[in-house]
Chains A and B, each alone.
Chain A
């Protein structure tokens, strides 16, 4: 059970949150300009790294805010939590 720091509510148990998968996937401005492959890449394809991953989480049982998390998929260590629209801090952290 992860302990996730909601940017507003502070540290809460994972059970209060919903994971929205990979973060920083922007919806294409003009979907029609994309060929099938490029559109499918946006809709279906996600990176699945072993190590540091940026994810969207929603404090669904709390303040209902979406935010970003940088988490290691190996150690589950979370080294950054930042609001939507903010840039992730630079350093990735130590653990893998």
Chain B
């Protein structure tokens, strides 16, 4: 299986599943997807227009917004930087390269750079805020928004998917073990709260 992809948390799949607290929170690592870091001058119609017609997706100009065009996402990372996220076997990079050839842009395959953790459930927001200083209150941060920040001591790219809330946490591969361990630890209390668990002496 030469091209079988092994994700950074493949060895933790069961630990992630076991951390679930029904009706409170669940955590899993998503299967690999295509991720392209795209840089370019959005004020230049040649760039923005070309990307938009090639991908049928409008790059978000508003900071920390996500554009979603039928499963193809563009996450705002900076005033000239987006993370494009598509299905695993995607020719995204090639399409962009041919469409934008000759322009000053940067197209970088970062599919294996970050892995995506899905944290969802009524307690997901509280769990994140144990280690993330962002204001995640629904008044401030909701579906379709993303933000780069920190989770405990690791870099985090956060994308809220829905109002449950479900979050996608983009974490660098080398930090994934730490981030997952941290999340599992932060989820523990809800399991005990549910069982009314007591410490054994």
Contacts and interface: CB of A to CB of B under 8 A. Distances in A.
A and B in direct contact, judged by CB atoms within 8 A:
yes
Select the residue from A10, A13, A61, A63 with max chain B CB neighbours within 10 A: A63
Interface string A1-13: 0000000111011
Interface residues of B, number: 13
B149 A8 contact: no
A33 B91 CA distance: 52
Nearest to A8: B63
B72 interface: no
Contacts of B77: 63
Interface residues of A, number: 12
A9 B133 CA distance: 14
Contact of A61 (B64, B78, B81, B155): B155
Contacts of B150: 15-16, 61
A65 interface: yes
B148 A13 contact: no
B149 A10 contact: no
Interface in A1-38: 8-10, 12-13, 15-16
A62 B148 contact: yes
Select the residue from A15, A61, A64 with max chain B CB neighbours within 10 A: A61
15 contacts: A8-B63, A8-B78, A9-B63, A9-B64, A9-B147, A9-B148, A10-B64, A15-B150, A16-B133, A16-B149, A61-B149, A62-B149, A63-B77, A63-B78, A64-B81
The 7 closest A-B pairs by CB, nearest first: A63-B78, A13-B133, A8-B63, A62-B148, A61-B150, A9-B63, A8-B79
Interface of B: 63-64, 77-79, 81, 133-134, 147-150, 155
